[in-house]
Structure 1
Amino acid sequence: MKDKRILFVSSEVVPYLPETELSSTSFNAAKNAHSKGVQTRIFMPRFGVINERRHQLHEVIRLSGMNLVVNDVDMPLIIKVASIPKERMQVYFIDNEEYFKRKAVFTDEDDQLFPDNDERAIFFAKGVVETVKKLNWAPDIIHVHGWMASMLPIYLKEYYKEEPLFTESKIVTSLYNGGFEGNLCEDFAKKVFFDIKDKKKVAHLETPNYVNILKCAIENSDAVVHGSETIPTELSEFLKTQKVPVLGYELENQRDAYLEFYTDLVSGS
């Protein structure tokens, strides 16, 4: 995998957010690949709880400035960047004042999901793709972690399917046990349908709970990784119906297992 390019897209990454299985695994996957000579880029949302001064985030003017359309509304895209200390890895942050300024991640002070989490996920997916296009950086592998990043596979496979930069990219989605209770906005499917004019493609989002959002990601991925030792039973059963390579949960030899998995995907073996 040396000299190959892997784009890691995650809802959460340490050290910018608290340590969880998801934030640690997505960071370690990128770190391990980087240590083996793989070219890496990490993308995550710029949540308002991230201390920009402490982590030395700064806006990249040449990448910012465009508007992304979400549900027929123009939303300004701001790109910020930082480097993870000691690792020499760049992290790009997708930002927007309305979606990400609030001092919280997914829920309010009453632990209720933000009503615009669906639009935040759409904006994040589009923001990642548009930024990578501006960087003119064609990834061999795109590894997606976390439900807020899970719109990326369907947008790459459908909305951006004519984009030559991603023609050879293989999409990997990691599945985790932690998610959220309840549903996102009931209009989630309609908002995605604004971009992707195929109701069959957005059918899972008609009931936008955690499992269905991940089903949508799986259907549009080239491979799947078990990021947790156990995942929701409904996801496990659904995965059995999909003809994609699956990497089981790895803890002790995660570094080698992930790299071998990436290599097999790129080589088509």
Structure 2
Amino acid sequence: MAQSRRVLFVAGEVTPFAKTSSIASLVRMLPEQLQDAGDFEARVMMPCYNTIDEREHNLHEVIRLSGTDVPMGTGTETLTVKVASVPDVRLQVYLMDHDTYFGDESLPSEEDPDSPEALLRRALFFNRATLETIRKLRWGPDLIHSFGWMSGFVPLLLASEYADGELLSNSLSIFTPDDQDPGTPVTADLAERLGLSLDGQASSTVSETGRHFTDTSIHLPGATPSNGDPQFDGEDDMRGQQLATLYNQMLNEVPA
């Protein structure tokens, strides 16, 4: 029997844990639809915001995954990982927790606009924490689909810091941009302080960086792609099949 294709969804928010945009409900529905459309195994990773009611959603810490030191510039930050299950769906959601980055009462779209670098640091910590957790899980995804600017560093990290690692070197990257990007440029100076290798993409926004380094982009319904990228179908129940087709095209090296 052929092994199921592994898909990791990375998003700044997922229903029912956090929702400020359409991405939250999209990422909630796609894994279930994808399982119905083909032989796919999906997992989800998101930040563990202080606004999430841990008792209501039955969150609990995964001791064997917690304690990882996530590199951030010249230092490291220690990660706590929690997990929850989505009701009525065979789906695990892993939540990356850290008091400095997710301990306040705001979601990314509600962040103080006077702290643009803090937003980028929060996104980068979440993205690195996600990939470090995947390595610790020893769960190698065939595809990593990043949703929204909050996950926009993932394609860059896969192409640079994690390109030579045994577990992630063959993972294909998909990016879905949103309209929530704070627009702060990732300057060469900031990249150096954060330990990022931009490969000539300095001064791009996080979303622009994600689109540059990803293997494929697929846009949200209602967006206006300018370069022929695919776009999610307007009908909710068609998106899982659409995504399964795109994933299979990528895995079979057939141009989408």
TM-score (norm 1): 0.84
Give structure 2 stretches of 5+ with no counterpart.
none
Identity over aligned pairs, percent: 27
Q: Does 1:22 align with 2:52?
A: no
Answer yes or no: is the 8 Å Cα contact 2:181–2:207 preserved in 1. Answer: no
The equivalent of 1:175 in structure 2 is 177
Counterpart of 2:11, as a letter, is: S
1:250 to 233, 237, 242: 233
Deviations 1:7-66 (A, max 9, x none): 000111111112631111122222212334411110001111111111011110101112
Is the CA contact (8 Å cut-off) linking 2:67 and 2:79 kept in structure 1?
yes
- Partners of 2:180 and 2:239 in 1: CA distance: 22
Preserved CA contact (<8 Å) 2:176 2:220: yes
CA gap of 1:19–1:182, structure 2 versus 1, over 3 A, is closer
Farther off after superposition, 30-39 or 128-137: 30-39
> Could you report, residue by residue, the CA deviation over 1:103-152 in whole angstroms, capped at 9, with x for unpaired residues?
11125686655641111111111111111111111111111001111101
Could you state the TM-score of these two structures normalised by the residue count of structure 2? 0.88
In the alignment, is residue 203 of structure 1 matched against residue 215 of structure 2? no
8 Å CA contact 2:49, 2:107 repeated in 1 = yes
Residue of structure 1 equivalent to 2:6: 5
Q: Is the 1:43–1:91 contact (alpha carbons within 8 Å) kept by the matching residues of 2?
A: yes
Map 1:194-233 to 2 at 5 A. 194-196=195-197, 199-200=199-200, 202-205=201-204, 212-231=205-224
Residues 188 and 175 of structure 1, relative CA distance in 2, 3 Å threshold: same
Structure 1 pair 120–172 and aligned structure 2 pair: CA distance change class (3 A) = same
Which residues in structure 2 correspond to 1:101-140 (within 5 Å)?
Answer: 101-106=103-108, 115-140=117-142
| Contact kept in structure 2, 1:106 and 1:113, CA below 8 Å | no
Flag the 1:74–1:163 CA change in 2: closer, same or farther, 3 A.
same
Once residues 110 and 63 of structure 1 are traced to their aligned partners in structure 2, the CA distance between those partners, rounded to angstroms, is 31
Q: What do you get for the CA RMSD once the two structures are aligned?
A: 2.3
Please, which of 238, 248, 251 is the counterpart of residue 263 of structure 1?
248
Aligned residue pairs total: 249
Unaligned runs of 5+ in 1: 206-211, 241-245
For 2:100, the equivalent position in structure 1 comes to 98
